[in-house]
A and B are shown apart, each in its own frame.
Chain A
Amino acid sequence: MTDLPAPATASRTGQPFARLRAALTAPPEPAKRVQFDRPLLPWLFLLPQLLVICVFFYWPSVQAITSSFYLEDPFGFGATFVGFDNYTDALRASEYRHIAAFTAFFTAVVTVAALGLGLLLAVKADTVIRARGPYRTALISVYAIAPPVAGLIGMMLFDQHIGPFVKLAAMLGWEMKVGIDYWDTAFAMILVSVWKQVPYNFIFFLSGLQAVPASVREAALIDCRNGWRRFRTVTLPLLAPTAFFLLIINITYALFDTFAVIDVMVKDKPANNPMTLVYKVYNDGFRGNDIGGSSAQSVILMLVVLVLTLAQFRWLERRVHYG
């Protein structure tokens, strides 16, 4: 951790991750530290939060890990210990590997597209002077739509009988069959998922852009006339903390929060339609009553997310310069 920038400077800038890291790595500063007279008092303050975390995070996780080693009848009358069978069954199934590959693809495409579009719109909206209020509101408003509603709208737009997008595609010579053709459905799902997430990224990028000091911009303007180069060498590095934060949020979104969009768009008949690992966990566990198998899958997913997040902090955040 010695190659990281000094945590003391980071904590002043107010970036969430920097602060978190600073808190974790900072050497104790005896002068500023608040001391409690009684050792129990701080625990008492922490208690409500700890309770919430234990009840809603740790307890279910422990349950999932336990049941992943058992084969249980749906009604919960009996469970047989099966060791790692549920894990090997899941990982060996070609269907599971296929869905895992799609999930990786889906997450990458949704993240890149949502971040890219959000950034593009933010940069452009940042320069709009006339009617900037309504313009920005229009861009942000989509974020207020709940994912199932977004899915429902997507389903209507891509409906085989009445969908305007299907008719548009037909005019372009593309016979779109959402719900039957795997990649057509994937396309529709990605489009709706990206559409839903762009406003969120837009808000953060826009506020990130507005935090770039005018003096820096003016200095850059004097040094370089090429707008793209100015953006690449000055604005983008200054946006990096925001972008890094959004990257993690977007990956989480694509992995987990797109569930509702997918559920509505496949009309609870997954058939051959693409789905993500989270949807498979739900489908096997809640629809299929295979508690052990779906627990094993969710533990695998938990590990993947853990590794992914650690890797991001370890490799990527090093390159992020906070303030």
Chain B
Amino acid sequence: MKKTLSTLGVLAMTATAAFAEPAQITWWHGMGGANEEVINQIAQKFNAAQAACALTPVSKGTYEEALASGIAAFRSGEQPNILQVFDAGAATIMNAPGAIIPAEDLLVQNGHGFDREAFIPGIRFFYADAEGKFIGMPFNSSAPIMYINDEAFAKAGVAVPKTWAEFEAAAPKLKEAGYIPLTASQLTWMFFENYFSRNNVQMASNNNGYDGFADTTLNATAPELLAFWTRVKAWHDAGLFGFYGAGWSDNQKPFEEGKVALWIGSSGSFGGLSKTATMPFSATFLPYDETVADGNKSSFIGGASLFAFAGKPDAENKCTADFFSFLTSTDIQAFYHQATGYVAITTAAYEKSKADGWYEKHPQAEIGILQLSMPQGEWSKGYRLGFYPQIRVIEEREFNKIFSGETTVEDAFKAIKAEGDELLAKFAKTAG
């Protein structure tokens, strides 16, 4: 054994001596727990696959914290090579053209091919500019889907709802069977942004913000949205909807413990949930609002993408490009998709997972991609709103107030619109 080890050591030393010192690149991200482990595995795979570059992933906490740290670092010239930015923060970073190198340019300049068509359709719009050029490199893409506690449904003897009306019919029986019928994490994403996409309602003026930042306003007082939230509040009051605050895990935990029949989470929650759930579970689409005429469309692409910061030496930029290319390779995409539940971003990775028989074993893992592949409505392609992370903070505040009885649904959404529009106007000023 000792001999093997020393032989290995000698080999390793010769290997290091044979190649030049690898270029060090860093990747700041906002993932924790099971998903952070998978990111570390990907970095290891990349470092093992080539010798010219060494990638170090660093968790900066949550998505919000990762974006804030990235911006602060850029201002002081200490930016990482790669920053993961979540959907809501996309407009903020994409509006800073001097700060980032568009992913597509970076790949092409460094001799990698780039085929926009290789990506699944739902993904091509969100992180791209007006001409369709990819500014961000899609990485972990997700959809809000509904997880189902199979035991609860067997016990209550009801069918899994596809629409909110069906939920209303099934919920009392689930409650009788001793379950909290429904909880949902991050209502800003589930019941606000994706209410607009899934039911094909306009979210903001100026073509959901894509046509420019000036005079863009939030459509937060849409009558469809208010009607839906009035129902949600009624469910909460009747004990059919459990709400445990703005924190993600506070709402996930009771589902894991088997106390809740339905939980709306991210398709990316699948990996973690497989380890923590105490009961068998399956998944289905986020229900749609049957009262809206042209609904049941695909949801917005959620999750995050990777941005390459400007101001780095060419050698490091080449490594970043190599890594982006490595990430989209079919094997890595399929690995990441299967390990986390995040949607496969390339058609090839999706086909490979199908061929692997992954969805036969884990039908839950296909729900996200199926939901994103549904027909796109006029308003389900995406949104581009500046300071949107701050607008989410306002939404969170008002949603909490609705459930604690401090405000009415109508007043809450009026406040979201008023304060949200102020922020949008402010962003337009900084952008102009």
Which residues does A use to contact B, with CB under 8 Å? 71-78, 80, 95, 160-161, 177, 179-182, 267-273, 283-284, 286-290
Q: Is the CB of A273 within 8 A of B400?
A: yes
Q: Is the CB of A287 within 8 A of B68?
A: yes
Contacting residues, chain B, for A180 (C-beta < 8 A): 243-245, 400, 403-404
CB distance from B411 to the nearest CB of A (A): 13
Interface size grouping (class) on chain B: 35 or more
B249's closest neighbor in chain A, by CB?
A267
> Which B201-248 residues have C-beta < 8 A from chain A?
243-247
CB distance from B379 to the nearest CB of A (A): 26
| Cα–Cα, bound, A289→B99 (Å) | 15
Contacting residues, chain A, for B419 (C-beta < 8 A): 95
Contacting residues, chain A, for B71 (C-beta < 8 A): 74-75, 289
Would you call B108 an interface residue if the criterion is a C-beta within 8 Å of the partner chain's C-beta atoms?
no
Contacts between the two chains (Cβ within 8 Å), count: 104
Q: Is the CB of A71 within 8 A of B430?
A: yes
Contacting residues, chain A, for B243 (C-beta < 8 A): 180
- Complex partner residue of A272 from B64, B387, B398, B431, CB under 8 angstroms: B398
CB distance from A188 to the nearest CB of B (A): 12
| Cα–Cα, bound, A273→B404 (Å) | 11
Some 26 contacts from A to B, beta carbons below 8 A apart, are A73-B95, A73-B430, A74-B71, A75-B74, A75-B99, A76-B75, A160-B244, A161-B244, A161-B253, A161-B257, A180-B243, A182-B404, A267-B245, A268-B61, A269-B245, A269-B396, A271-B393, A271-B397, A272-B396, A272-B397, A272-B401, A286-B68, A287-B389, A288-B389, A288-B390, A288-B393
Would you call B275 an interface residue if the criterion is a C-beta within 8 Å of the partner chain's C-beta atoms?
no
- Complex partner residue of A271 from B74, B399, B429, B430, CB under 8 angstroms: B399
Q: Is the CB of B398 within 8 A of A74?
A: no
Q: Is the CB of B96 within 8 A of A77?
A: yes
Would you call B163 an interface residue if the criterion is a C-beta within 8 Å of the partner chain's C-beta atoms?
no
| Cα–Cα, bound, A161→B180 (Å) | 14
Would you call B254 an interface residue if the criterion is a C-beta within 8 Å of the partner chain's C-beta atoms?
yes
- Complex partner residue of B96 from A75, A284, A288, CB under 8 angstroms: A75
Quick one: given A76-B75, A77-B98, A180-B243, are A71 and B426 in contact (CB under 8 Å)? yes
| Cα–Cα, bound, A71→B250 (Å) | 37
Q: Is the CB of A287 within 8 A of B400?
A: no
| Cα–Cα, bound, A34→B70 (Å) | 53
B187's closest neighbor in chain A, by CB?
A271
| Cα–Cα, bound, A289→B400 (Å) | 23
Contacting residues, chain A, for B396 (C-beta < 8 A): 269-272
Contacting residues, chain B, for A289 (C-beta < 8 A): 68, 71, 92, 387
Contacting residues, chain A, for B397 (C-beta < 8 A): 270-272
CB distance from A179 to the nearest CB of B (A): 3
Given pairs A80-B429, A270-B393, 20 additional interface contacts (CB within 8 A): A73-B96, A76-B75, A78-B430, A161-B257, A177-B245, A179-B245, A179-B246, A180-B245, A180-B400, A180-B403, A182-B406, A267-B250, A269-B247, A271-B396, A272-B397, A272-B398, A272-B406, A286-B68, A287-B64, A289-B387
